[in-house]
């Protein structure tokens, strides 16, 4: 599983843990997250997120 980060503010999405605050269950691959997803901090669109190891 990977982590993805927002290049604008550094917010991190972790596929292993999902994001409870955003209602995304653990082990949800980022590609499976709603395409309308935006960074909860700065509203950067999902397609701008960068995959990290
Ligand atoms: Zn952001």
Q: What's the pLDDT band for 36 if we cut at 50, 70, 90?
A: very high
| 4 Cα–ligand 1 center, Å | 11
| 14 Cα–ligand 1 center, Å | 14
Name the domain count of the chain: 1
Tens of pLDDT, residues 3-25: 999 999 999 999 999 999 999 99
Domain residues for the domain of 25 are 3-52
Is residue 3 classed as helix, strand or coil in its secondary structure?
strand
* pLDDT for 53: 77
Q: b/e for 24-40, b at 16 or more Cβ within 10 A?
A: beeebebeebeeebebe
For residue 25, which of 12, 14, 36 has the smallest C-alpha distance?
A: 14
Alpha carbons 36 and 44: distance in angstroms, whole number: 11
Q: What's the pLDDT band for 38 if we cut at 50, 70, 90?
A: very high
| 33 Cα–ligand 1 center, Å | 16
| 43 Cα–ligand 1 center, Å | 6
Q: What is the CATH number of the domain that holds 15?
A: 2.20.28.10
């Amino acid at each position: 599983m990977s982590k993805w980060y927002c290049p604008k503010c550094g917010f991190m999405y972790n596929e292993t843990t999902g994001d409870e605050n955003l209602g995304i269950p653990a082990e949800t691959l980022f590609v499976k997250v709603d395409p309308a997803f935006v960074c909860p901090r700065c509203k950067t669109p999902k397609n701008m997120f960068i995959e990290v190891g």
